[in-house]
């Protein structure tokens, strides 16, 4: 069998001290093959970002292990490029400076001119050339998100861990960048793990979609393979019966999981009194 490029094995992780612990992820198993495009979808607060942290090596698992390219990965590195949900731009650097810092570190052999070209290429890709000399605090939320995406793309990681990379963008920019991510993934033979809460986006982009059950004790559930042919055309997809079916199935399963979680919660909360109404008719 083909070996996965990145793999989680029975990973559990929680936060907080012993006395007041929240188990965020429990017994998570994930195998992502080389050049696969996996999308993870889940409710807010279920632990998606924590999962990205685990995959990148920034969060240590309490139990279980993370393997990357066949070896246990304990430290983060630029081969697993993370795009952080909160962008994590360095506020004292300009758009250019932020991307340059990352590129220079990962590609130390580039000449000055090459580096400049490289950085400018990625800034152009996310349409930020006019804002190239601006500092993050001078940018809108969506612009910052694009800078963050450009930074992650610019270090050309083998595995891209994208945490809701397009959530703050308008539909048009979003579609453009979706195409861009898919193009890079296809052309450079990358592996992508994309966190999203938009089912359409997941179905449009991914090979495989894995829903994350709601927390606490969230875990990855049965995955859905997306068999749609590439390139996928956004305009016709909406009428594609396979697309519609898949989308509905995933949505339904998420809803079901949510309802179950709620019920579970209410079950634990409400203890029913052990009484029955009198059957008056028997009398």
Ligand X SMILES: Nc1ncnc2c1ncn2[C@@H]1O[C@H](COP(=O)(O)OP(=O)(O)OP(=O)(O)O)[C@@H](O)[C@H]1O
- H/E stretch holding 7 reads strand 4-15
- Which segment (38-46, 103-111, 227-235, 242-250) binds ligand X by CB under 6 A? 38-46
Total residue count of the chain as it appears in this document: 283
**Residues 34, 5: contact at Cβ < 8 Å?**
yes
Between residues 51 and 95, which has the closer beta carbon with respect to ligand X? 51
77 C-beta neighbours (distance < 10 Å), count: 13
Cβ of residue 7: shortest distance to ligand X, in angstroms?
Answer: 19
* The token pair that represents 270 in the structure block: 């409400």
Question: Which residue in 8, 41, 68 sits closest to 221, CA to CA?
Answer: 41
Q: Binding to ligand X by residue 21, rule CB under 6 A?
A: no
| Binding partner of residue 15 among ligand X, other proteins, Mg ion, none, CB cut-off 5 to 8 Å per kind | ligand X
Q: Which of residues 62-101 bind ligand X (CB under 6 A)?
A: 85
How far CA 249 is from CA of 37, 65, 224, 255, in Å, comes to 19, 31, 9, 10
Q: Which range, of 40-48, 62-70, 88-96, 175-183, touches ligand X by CB under 6 A?
A: 40-48
Candidate list 19, 44, 109, 111; residue touching ligand X; CB under 6 A: 44
Smaller CB separation from other proteins, 85 or 127: 85
Does residue 197 touch Mg ion according to CB under 5 A? no
Please give the residue ranges that form the binding site for other proteins (CB under 8 A): 56-58, 75-78, 80-82, 84, 86, 88, 90-93, 101-102, 105-106, 135-137, 155
- Of other proteins, Mg ion, ligand X, none, which one does residue 81 interact with (CB within 5 to 8 Å by kind)? other proteins
d(CA 184, CA 164): 17
Tell how strand 159-163 and strand 63-68 pair up: unpaired
**Interaction with Mg ion in 72-91: which residues (CB under 5 A)?**
85
Instruction: Give the shortest CB-99-to-other proteins separation in angstroms.
Output: 12
Nearest distance in Å: CB 214, ligand X: 9
**CA atoms of 221 and 252, how far apart (whole Å):** 13
Q: How far apart are CA 52 and CA 200, in angstroms?
A: 21
């Amino acid at each position: 069998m083909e070996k996965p490029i990145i793999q989680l094995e029975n990973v559990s992780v929680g936060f907080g001290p012993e006395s007041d612990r929240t188990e965020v992820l429990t017994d998570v198993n994930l195998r992502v093959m080389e050049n696969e495009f996996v999308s993870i979808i889940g409710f807010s607060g279920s632990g998606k970002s924590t999962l990205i942290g685990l995959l990148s090596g920034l969060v240590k698992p309490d139990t279980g292990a993370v393997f990357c390219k066949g070896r246990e990965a304990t430290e983060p590195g630029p081969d697993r490029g993370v795009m952080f949900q909160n962008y994590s731009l360095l506020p004292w650097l300009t758009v250019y400076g932020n991307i340059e810092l990352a590129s220079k570190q990962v590609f130390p052999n580039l000449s000055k001119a090459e580096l400049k070209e490289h950085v400018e290429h990625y800034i152009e890709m996310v349409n930020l050339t006019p804002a190239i000399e601006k500092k993050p605090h001078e940018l809108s939320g969506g612009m910052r998100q694009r800078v963050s995406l450009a930074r992650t793309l610019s270090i050309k990681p083998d595995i891209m861990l994208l945490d809701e990379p397009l959530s703050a963008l308008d539909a048009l920019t979003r579609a453009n960048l979706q195409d861009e991510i898919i193009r890079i993934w296809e052309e450079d033979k990358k592996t992508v793990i994309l966190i999203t809460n938009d089912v359409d986006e997941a179905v449009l982009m991914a090979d495989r979609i894995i829903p994350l059950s709601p927390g606490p004790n969230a875990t990855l559930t049965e995955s859905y393979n997306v068999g749609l042919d590439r390139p996928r055309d956004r305009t016709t997809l909406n009428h594609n019966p396979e697309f519609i079916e898949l989308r509905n199935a995933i949505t339904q399963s998420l809803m079901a999981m949510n309802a179950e979680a709620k019920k579970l919660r209410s079950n634990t909360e409400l203890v029913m009194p052990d009484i029955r109404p009198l059957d008056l008719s028997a009398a």
